């Protein structure tokens, strides 16, 4: 089906009070795996290309073209998003390339400079019917707004959304980027306060470090978009490592990369089903009604 606007997926998830999976693309095989997961589950997904991934590939256009093509040719509802762009020009190029949304990350800037830069991105994106996600939280440690202990202030969040016109807000509530153990403790009460403070969907970054049960609780508290990267990368790498350990003579990358792709598909499908709390809640109500 045609490429789906990110706004359509986000608004549908908000309406259903459920979570929306947003998974990072590293290369073509991970994009293929994520689309396969969406098709297997029948659930929507956002494919995300980060500024770091673009730098790895050397340019936006080749990996963007491949990702957009996979999304457009899928039978699932798939949107494409630019993740963690600190470069305003990169955000503009993603808009012009056909992305459904861009995240401008001005969280390392002071409040006023973050607002000014975000407004510039919003003006260009909205002129092209593209959704904008931004990030807000006090800065701390190498993880910026997602360092442990850093929190987004609800009053400041309300002001930031009103001043910038952003369409989604990534908030600091206890998660941290690049965690390989799922031990992060989220401030569920703060998530609920933020949900009531701002009129746009909330985004959880650093979800790789959050346990399944806690992610479910966060979605029910008010998180809509759930970003995952490191967790899926671990499945990809572990599968490749396992294949090479078992087949030390292997030289064809299609063999071992294929194992990684299969592993990502399975785990992405599991996570997408986990995030779909609305369907499980509805099933639970139906079952309870028949008792």
Give the active site residues. Answer: 83
- DSSP character string of the chain: -PPPPHHHHHHHHHHHT--EEEEE--SHHHHHHHHHHHHHHT--EEEEEEHHHHHHHT-HHHHHHHHHHHHHH-SS-EEEEEEEE--HHHHHHHHHHT-SEEEE--TTS-HHHHHHHHHHHHHHHHTTT-EEEEEE----STTGGGSTT----HHHHHHHHHHH--SEEEE-SS--TT-SS------HHHHHHHHHH-SS-EEE--GGGS-HHHHHHHHHHTEEEEEE-HHHHHHHHHHHHHHHHH-TT---HHHHHHHHHHHHHHHHHHHHHHH-HHHHHHHHHHHHHT-
């Amino acid at each position: 089906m045609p490429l789906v606007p990110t706004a359509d997926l986000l608004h549908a998830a908000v309406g259903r009070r459920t979570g929306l999976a947003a998974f990072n693309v590293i290369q073509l095989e991970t994009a293929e795996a994520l689309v396969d997961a969406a098709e297997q589950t029948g659930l929507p997904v956002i494919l995300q290309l980060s500024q770091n991934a673009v730098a790895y590939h050397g340019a936006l256009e080749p990996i963007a073209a491949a990702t957009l093509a996979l999304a457009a040719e899928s039978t699932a509802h798939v949107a494409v998003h630019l993740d963690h762009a600190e470069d305003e020009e990169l955000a503009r190029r993603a808009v012009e390339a056909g992305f459904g949304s861009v995240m401008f990350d001005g969280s390392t800037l002071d409040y006023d400079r973050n607002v000014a830069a975000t407004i510039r991105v919003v003006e260009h994106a909205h002129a092209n019917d593209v959704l904008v996600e931004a990030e807000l939280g006090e800065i701390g440690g190498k993880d910026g707004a997602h360092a442990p202990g850093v929190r987004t202030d609800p009053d400041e969040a309300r002001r930031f959304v009103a001043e910038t016109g952003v369409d989604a807000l990534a908030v600091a509530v206890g998660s941290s980027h690049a965690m390989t153990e799922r031990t992060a403790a989220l401030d569920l009460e703060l998530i609920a306060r933020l949900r009531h403070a701002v009129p746009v969907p909330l985004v959880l970054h650093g979800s790789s470090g959050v346990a399944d049960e806690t992610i479910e609780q966060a979605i029910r508290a008010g998180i809509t978009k759930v970003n995952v990267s490191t967790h899926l990368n671990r499945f990809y790498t572990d599968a490749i490592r396992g294949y090479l350990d078992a087949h030390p003579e292997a030289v064809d990358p299609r063999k071992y990369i294929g194992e990684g792709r299969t592993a990502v598909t399975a785990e992405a499908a599991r996570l997408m089903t986990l995030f779909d709390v609305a369907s499980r809640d509805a099933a639970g109500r139906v079952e309870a009604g028949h008792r």
